[in-house]
Structure formats: C-alpha cells, structure tokens
Structure 1
C-alpha cells in the first residue's frame, strides 16, 4: 500500500486577529521528505479540500532550512497544497498512516472535524499509525477508538507546550492551549526542551512537540512501519 495521508488546514487567518496563519511549512516538509525517501506516496487532505495557505511566519529566514527552500521552490509540491483532497474523498483503507501538520489555524478546523476523526480511527483500527506534530496534535483530541474511548487516553503524547505558546505571546489568542487539552483527554503529556526536536511513540500513536519535530515524528512512524512488515 505504502500511502501516507498528510492533513493540512484550510484556515488562512486567525478568526479573532488581523494575522495570517496556515500550514507551518517545515512541519510538512521534514516529515514528508523522510517518508518519500523510503518510497511512501504522500496524499494531502484538508477538512474542506482545495487550497491550503502557508503561514507566512514559517517562511521567515530564521525558520527556513535548505530543505524547506527546496520544497517551497517545487511547483509539484505547491500544486498539491493548492488542490488537497477533502476528507469525504478519502478511503481510510488506502493508507498506512495519517499525519496531522500544524500551524495555528488547525486549532479552529481540526478538533471538531468528525470526518477526519473517523478516517484516523479507521486507519488505527486497521493496524495503521496516527501521528501529529505541534499544534497538529489537536487533531487527535476527539478521535475515539473502536470501543468509544479517546484514542490518546492513557497514552504518552506530546504537542505544542504551554511554555512555547506563552513565549510567542499567543496564549490568550488561541481558543485553548494544546497541552492543557491533551491532558484533559486523559493523555500522559510529556515534553522535551522548548523549541528542540522531540517526539514520542506510544503503541501506534506518534507525536512531536514543535516545528522542529516533524522529522523526528517521521522517524518514529517509519520505525513502526518497518517493524510491522
């Protein structure tokens, strides 16, 4: 099968601020690059389908690596971001794993999207992997397993830390704090150093803390996929 579903946001502006948002570029790029090097096909999906904007803050020189620039200069990659599938167009049977990218916009369209939740739940029930990075972990908040319990309850997970949100000055702007809500769903929240790459694996749930962690999540996902062969 060897297909990976990468979830991106449709939110391009903070609903409560005159501030742009969108996909945090590096969080897609560093995960996708690791998976593509191992021969996996990447399919992009968003709640509504169609265009996903790139958060302009993720394009600042201090955020961009050489790899980020390679993808940002790649028309094929950008065209895929401009024409994502909608959740209703996705057959969960076709995918080995789902990966939720971040960017602050996801806090408004990931948590309550039941179609994406059902896709993730079915991928997991089929023996696949559910993964996320940074704010993308809010996509995991309301996923339930086959018996109706929260998927992340009792599992070790990580996501964007309260201390990192406060450092950005956005803790009063976002609708909730990622770390707090992961804990509220019964997850065993752990964290690494602020802004450093950090990811954890528990069963078939792989999560990363911040924008630096996409590659670390990919490595965790790949280790699980290889062990399942």
Structure 2
C-alpha cells in the first residue's frame, strides 16, 4: 500500500457548550414586494451551530413572523436556490419551522445569556435596520460585552450605524466585508432597476477610519477581526459560521 495516497482526518467533536442568537429582519416592502432575510444566511450558520452542539435561538427586531426572501426561498418555483436542502429542512422541522412565525423580539433579549450573535442579510435589512436605534444598541452591547459579533451580507449594514459607548462607530479601526457594489449591480441588472437606495460598500468607503474589503462578485469571503466576524454574501455563510465556532473555541 502506498501511504502517500492515504489521507486521514479526525475532526474535533468535543467543542465547549455555547449559546448563539441568530438574528434576522422582519418583513419589509421593497418596490411593492414583500422581502425578508436570505434563507441560507441564517439556516446554514444555524445548522453548523446545532452540529457543534450549541443551543440556538432565532430573534428579529420586532419578534413574531419572519420570511425568506423569495429569491432565496428554495420552495419558490421562481427562486434561484432550489437545492438549498438546509433551508428546506429548517422550515419543515417540527420545532424550528414554527420559529418562522414566532421569533423572539430583541426587547426580550438578555445579552448575558448568549456567547455570540449572528445576523443574516437579505432584502429587508437595508430598510429595517437603518433607523432601528434599539437594534444598533443591541449589537453594540453584544460587542462591548466581549461576545462574538457576526454579520453576514446586508446584515453588515449595521456597521454603518452601530456606535459604541464612547460614541465611536464599531467599524472604526476594523477590517470587515459585506455585500459588494459589484453584487448590487448584478441585482440591479437582474431586476432592470436600481433596487437599493444606498449600498454598503459605497457608504463604508466614506468612513476614513475603517477598512472595508471585498472579494470578486459572489466569491466566498469572510473576515475575522478580533470579536467581529463579517461575511460578504450567502456563499460566505459557511465561512462565517466556521469563524464563529473557531472564535468560541479559542
């Protein structure tokens, strides 16, 4: 037998017990369409966290009903992700699927109960997150309490507004990523219109005190800068959850 061709792997299963808060947007109206959060950007990290043995809750700013974006809904005949088996499994799970109708409101969240927060993107966050001062405060509270703070795709828009207790932006002095302008242009071409009134990359680059980076359009890319973890888009969701698990295992 040629040992040079033998590859052995033995992953670590004895991870420390942790509790994670997955946060998604409540539904919103965008150009006459109801939009929500990008399915995979919550369900893939959720799946990875459950497999790591973590306890996971799902919250939204207002609590109650949340929805997948139609584009990301694997059960939408016109959607682009029919093979997203994790999201299909989530909504049809006897327990987890019910959470889509009854998420926890952020007013009921005790930061001390959790080790990390993971925020999904999608069509609604640019609308619902921008002026939600209580949500900005929650993110700041997680970060300043020493918790791992993970933001994915349009969820990273929170770094445009979240201020710490000293009045500085959480993004100041940080290296991070988010949905790229090149990807926004792909969406605009798909719908034949300018979909969003502003973009994360354009706004982030107005801040001279932060370092915003992106990979090529739709390429998996994520960054960990201390307790802050950011991921560029849905194809980066698995990288985000890996970084969270690594950070919580340090």
How high is the TM-score relative to the length of structure 1? 0.91
Alignment gaps of 5+ in structure 1: none
Per-residue Cα deviation, 1:124-155 (whole angstroms, up to 9, x for no partner) = 12211111111111123221223221011121
Structure 1 stretch 21-30 or stretch 70-79: which is displaced more? 70-79
Q: Hey, what does 1:204 align to over in structure 2?
A: 227
Secondary structure at the aligned position of 1:116 is classed as helix
Say if 2:39 is the partner of 1:25. yes
Say if 2:244 is the partner of 1:225. no
Q: Hey, what does 1:158 align to over in structure 2?
A: 177
Alignment gaps of 5+ in structure 2: 1-16
Q: What is the distance in 2 between the residues matched to 1:28 and 1:138?
A: 16
Q: 2:61 aligns with which of 24, 28, 47?
A: 47
Q: What is the distance in 1 between the residues matched to 2:169 and 2:224?
A: 17
Per-residue Cα deviation, 1:85-107 (whole angstroms, up to 9, x for no partner) = 11111111111111110111111
Q: What is the distance in 1 between the residues matched to 2:91 and 2:98?
A: 11
Q: 1:88 aligns with which of 87, 95, 107?
A: 107
Q: CA RMSD in A?
A: 1.7
Q: Hey, what does 1:182 align to over in structure 2?
A: 204
Q: What is the distance in 1 between the residues matched to 2:204 and 2:19?
A: 27
Q: 2:216 aligns with which of 193, 205, 220?
A: 193
Provide closer, same or farther for how the CA distance between residues 69 and 11 of structure 1 changes in structure 2, counting only shifts above 3 A.
closer
Q: Hey, what does 1:112 align to over in structure 2?
A: 131
Q: What is the distance in 2 between the residues matched to 1:52 and 1:140?
A: 22
Residues 3 and 94, structure 1, Cα contact 8 Å, conserved in 2: yes
